Amino acid sequence: MTERKIRIMVAKPGLDGHDRGARVLARCFRDAGFEVIYTGCHQTPEQIAVSAIQEDVDLVGLSCLSGAHRYLFPRVVELLKEKEAEDICVIGGGIIPEQDFEMLYHSGIKAIFTPGAHLDDIVDWVRQNVEPK
Amino acid sequence: MYFSKGVLDQSKQLRKKWEDNIRKIANKTPDQKARWSTVSDLEIKRLYTPEEIKNTNFESDIGYPGEFPFLRGNQPTGYRGKYWTFRMFAGMGSAADTNKRWHMLINSGQTGLSTAFDYPTLMGYDTDDPKARGECGKCGVAIDTLEDFLQLMDGIPMDQVTTSMTINPPASVLWAMYCAVAELRGIPLAKIGGTIQNDMLKEFIAQKTFMCPPEPSVKLIGDTVEFGTRHVPMWNTISISGYHIREAGATAVQELAFTLRDGMEYVESVIAQKGLDVDDFAPRLSFFFNSHIDFFEEICKLRAARRIWAKVMRDRYQAKNPRSMWMRFHTQTAGCSLTAQQPYNNVVRTALEALAAVLGGTQSLHTNSLDEVLCLPSDHAVEIALRTQQIIAEETGAANTMDPLAGSYFVESLTNEIEEKAWEYIHKIDEMGGMIDAIEKGFPQMEIADAAYQFQRQIDAGEKIMVGMNKYVTDDEQKIPLLDIDDAVEQDQIKRLNAVRRKRNHRAVTKSLKDLKMCCKKGDNVMPFCIEAVKNYASVQEICDVYRDVYGEYRDPGLY
Amino acid sequence: MEQTKKIREGNIRIVSRLIRNLEDSEPEARTAIKNIFPYTGKAHIIGITGSAGAGKSTLVDGLISAFRKKNKTVGVLAIDPTSPFSGGALLGDRIRMQKHTEDPGVFVRSLATRGAMGGLSKAVGDAIHVLDAMGKDIILVETVGTGQQEVDIIYNSHTVIVVLVPGMGDEIQAIKAGIMEIADIFVVNKADHPGASQLLMELKNMINMAQIPEDGWPLPVMTVESAFEPIKFGEKIDSLAQNILKHYEYLVHSDQLKSRLHRKTMVEIKDALRTCILDQILSDLEANGELDRLAYKLISKESDPYTLAEEISSRYLKKRPGKPYQKKG
């Protein structure tokens, strides 16, 4: 038996095309030894949930800079729950004002990373909080 | 030659002495780091001397303002005739909300308008499309039909103020709305002025707001250029943009090279497809650059941009009209240089970046607000940003004389270096068969991705510093008031849209969309049909669906 | 057999977890394969290979649409390389297949090579069984696309499509790498680009030289132009799909299906033996530290690799030392 690999999906829900952060993070996860599925810009929450299940990922990292996170992030969590995949951990990043944190945590988002977050801190968070299934 | 042999010989001698001296000192007090470089990682020397610019030719490389190669500015008078346009990018919530912000800005001394649209509008969707859920009004104003546009322009003197619209795939649609409002108000199209961004190539490269594949996208742009040339002569029909390329992580050289090569692609396409002479339309091409935090690199980049473009227009396209050789550009300070931590520091960053843009000779400027890394800017933050420009113009004396840094060994040398490196990229893309082919190969996308990743790694390693973020970090957070766009805006906007759909003339809508489709299939100019459709209250998405239907839809190839 | 039942019903969570377990060599995954094996063998497996940038994923995306139009369910396994430095991987093929995400008749899974050579991943053979058992009519396997020696795909598929593009200078390379011998269908992608006609000519010359017998498979060369022209692209892909199905019919009629199956199962049983015997022995030796001690014996020249291996094999396989190599003495 080989070591269990952490699988992560990095996704950009909504219409926003600012993918610098998502792409940098995808590379960083690869360099940290994770298997990363990057699904590109302009994904609907439905597409993200289905892809996450087909790819059997441990973690979905959502990135949104348009301000639509209050709808999009909780919707992904909700859809995973509907598809009996609530064990998949969902985190978010982008331009997220602090006043929205509580609402997002409450909806099931496990962590939020905003501009200035260090890549290493994000990787550490994953190592500490994500147990490959 | 820029210097006499005597000066160069003298400099060489003195330099040797200075270098010996340095070696002695460096043993005792070594440099803080081994390598000093710009934010784009261009290595910078300790000292620049006449030798660094010894091959520069005064007349052909530097010259005078208003004269080829326009390094020192397009206008012979500089800012004395007219300051740059204070143009703050604004848009949020509903058309009425944005109209209110515009009036506030005009009352504060702003001299040009600039529109930010929300994502559904930018991507050619109506607010009630499932893909648009949650996005309405969040990062700009929501426009679905002419009704919204009329409200947006309420009380704005369209024959006196120029309006810039940051809109790309649906540029023809939003511009058609602007033209339609002018016509409804009895203002001739020849009297209105402004800019549509309308630069699709940089969307494929960096910003990722796309609709149709590259080739038909460039065709649609050609339509607007042709229509503007014939009917709206004061309108800038493309704003060839490096801003987003830079924000996506490009270096200064990449920003410059990719933007100018995009510009060449448009020029070539319009000449080939529309049969226009280069001097017919080139004077209305405008550019849009980023002003990042590395002060001298940015100034040199902007100076180099003017010189490259002048050479390109004269030598590559045989333009005769000096106005065709002018690189006219708007500048925005760098959003990606701001930090969420200690946000008040952003005022300082923006001020320095704005000063660099002015010293680089910008014609128009947007200064970011201190809270823009956190949310849409609040009224108060916007006012500080606008005042920053006014302070630079009226207090600092930066506008007193033209191109004040010219002749500096360092500035001229760095300008040359940036230009050379940009040409290398331009030639490489030429070899690939042009920008569309390069984009298809993923070349500019990957170059930018590599640069972005490298920069992030340098930040994480502390090799590059962002104050408050990876150095001089404090625990006590500065709280600033944030602007929130109410989620209720979406429901209100959908109600408005439905009301318009109920009361408009359905037959006229259907007919004008059918006519537009026929026109697209035939390859005719879409603009007259687009204006007709918006006048009948066809929505942004209804028109864009015609484009998608005929030209196909482009999806993110997801290069990383 | 609750799990087998769920796989056959197409339960996505169970299927995707099982593939994960196969990749990670979890012991229970082997049991699952034992259970589903009787239900495999129905799918038509299609390998798609060609160098990076040849447009394989876009072609796969087109083929999914084409087969869905024919009411066939489709499974996709897309393989990307594992970074030799970090052991991580960036899997980006499914990006181009997004429009099928919400179609329940399509299942797409990305696999990392995890050190496997030959353009595939070690788990790919078993993953194919899983998709087969879940009832997918068509299974598309997209190789890594390094352009080097990606010939393993023939052991895993019925029909191999080799994708080439003009102007990448890889034509001659590909012939050398033996990738040409594995093709059942050639696709010249981006055929509107300069250099396409020359590439087509080279290919046709090569096929002519191959002297295919009259009742043999004619080795079609197809062209596909820009994916940005949806209607024309769709038509070209439809006829590619048609040719793929024709190839399968040919395999059935010419009895070649059997020989291909034999070729595939030979590899499979060898792989399984290796897993059950060699891997077992190795992990055993590693766990008790003997492997290390053996290495030292070589460094100190106390022994040589073959003598040591014979000792080990006799111990584990209960044979007298040296017997398999009697000639040696």
CB-closest option in A41, A71, A95 to B373 = A95
- C30 within some domain: no
Number of independent structural domains in chain C = 2
Do C320 and C172 sit in the same domain of this protein? no
Query: Do B206 and B247 contact (CB within 8 A), yes or no?
Result: yes
Cα B246 from chain centroid (whole Å) = 10
Chain B interface mutation, best of A9, A12, A19, A119, highest count of B Cβ atoms under 10 Å? A19
Q: Give residue-wise pLDDT tens across range B478-488.
A: 778 888 888 89
Range 350-369 of B in CB contact (< 8 A) with A:
none
Do C124 and C197 sit in the same domain of this protein? yes
Tell me chain C's radius of gyration from C-alpha atoms.
22
Residue C305, chain B, CB below 8 Å: the answer is: no
Percentage above 90 pLDDT, chain B? 89
Do C219 and C122 sit in the same domain of this protein? yes
Tell me chain A's radius of gyration from C-alpha atoms.
13
- C212 within some domain: yes
Question: Which secondary structure element, helix H or strand E, spans residue B87, and what is its range?
Answer: strand B85-90
Strands (DSSP E) found in C122-202: 138-142, 159-164, 185-188
Domain that holds residue C240: 37-254
Interface of B with C (CB under 8 A): 213-215, 433, 441-442, 552-560
Q: Give residue-wise pLDDT tens across range B108-164.
A: 988 889 999 999 999 999 999 999 999 999 989 999 999 999 999 999 999 999 999
Per-residue pLDDT of chain A (133 residues; tens, 9 = 90+): 457 899 999 999 999 999 999 999 999 999 999 999 999 999 999 999 999 999 999 999 999 998 899 999 999 999 999 999 999 999 999 999 888 999 999 999 999 998 888 899 999 999 999 988 8
Query: In the numeric block, which tokens belong to residue B382?
Result: 């916007």
> Looking at beta carbons, which residues of chain B come within 8 Å of C53?
441-442
pLDDT of residue C66: 97
Across B85-108, b (16+ Cβ under 10 Å) vs e yields bbbbbbbbbbbebbbebbeebbee
The alpha carbon torsion through B236, B240, B246, B252 (nearest 10 deg) reads -110
Name the pairing type of β-strands A111-113 and C74-80. unpaired
Q: How far is CA B98 from CA A16, B377, B389, in A?
A: 20, 12, 21
Contact assignment for C24 to A40 by CB distance below 8 Å: no
Q: Is the pLDDT of residue B303 over 80?
A: yes
Q: What spatial distance separates the first Cα and last Cα of chain A, rounded to whole Å?
A: 14
Range 227-256 of C in CB contact (< 8 A) with B:
228-230
CA nearest to B468 within chain A: A116
Strands (DSSP E) found in B247-355: 285-291, 329-333
Do C83 and C209 sit in the same domain of this protein? yes
Contact assignment for C96 to B557 by CB distance below 8 Å: yes
Question: B335: which DSSP letter?
Answer: G
- C105 within some domain: yes
Q: Around B406, how many Cα atoms within 13 Å sit in the side-chain half-sphere?
A: 21
Catalogue all structural domains in chain B, each as residue range(s) with its CATH number: 59-69+83-460 (3.20.20.240)
Q: Which of C52, C46, C55, C19 is nearest to C119 (CA)?
A: C52
Range 465-494 of B in CB contact (< 8 A) with A:
466, 469-470, 482, 484-485, 487
- C11 within some domain: no
Do C73 and C132 sit in the same domain of this protein? yes
Contact assignment for B339 to A115 by CB distance below 8 Å: yes
Domain final position from C203, C226, C254: C254
Burial class (CB in 10 A: 0-12, 13-18, 19+), C51: buried
Give the relative orientation of helices B214-231 and B252-274 as an angle to the nearest 10 degrees. Answer: 70
Contact assignment for B555 to C92 by CB distance below 8 Å: no
Q: Is the pLDDT of residue B528 over 60?
A: yes
Burial class (CB in 10 A: 0-12, 13-18, 19+), B451: buried
Do C122 and C60 sit in the same domain of this protein? yes
Do C147 and C212 sit in the same domain of this protein? yes
Domain final position from C210, C227, C254: C254
CATH number at residue C124: 3.40.50.300
> Looking at beta carbons, which residues of chain A come within 8 Å of C86?
30-33
Q: Is the pLDDT of residue B475 over 60?
A: yes
Question: Which secondary structure element, helix H or strand E, spans residue A63, and what is its range?
Answer: strand A59-64
pLDDT of residue C328: 42
Domain boundaries, given as residue ranges, for chain A: 7-129
Yes or no: domain A7-129 corresponds to CATH 3.40.50.280: yes
What is the spatial distance between Cα B377 and Cα B382, in angstroms, rounded to a whole number?
6
Contact assignment for C94 to A7 by CB distance below 8 Å: no
- C21 within some domain: no
Q: What's the mean pLDDT in C234-253?
A: 95
What is the spatial distance between Cα C105 and Cα C108, in angstroms, rounded to a whole number?
10
- C5 within some domain: no
Question: B187: which DSSP letter?
Answer: -
Q: Give residue-wise pLDDT tens across range C291-329.
A: 999 999 999 999 999 999 999 988 888 755 555 554 443
Do C271 and C247 sit in the same domain of this protein? no
The reported pTM is 0.89
Cα A5 from chain centroid (whole Å) = 17
Phi/psi of residue B449, nearest 5 degrees: -60, -40
Do C149 and C214 sit in the same domain of this protein? yes
Cα B427 from chain centroid (whole Å) = 23
CB pairs under 8 A between A and B: 115
Do C185 and C212 sit in the same domain of this protein? yes
The confidence band for C198, taking pLDDT boundaries of 50, 70 and 90, is confident
- C22 within some domain: no
Q: Is the pLDDT of residue B223 over 90?
A: yes
> Looking at beta carbons, which residues of chain A come within 8 Å of B126?
none
Tell me chain B's radius of gyration from C-alpha atoms.
24
> Looking at beta carbons, which residues of chain C come within 8 Å of B558?
92, 95-96
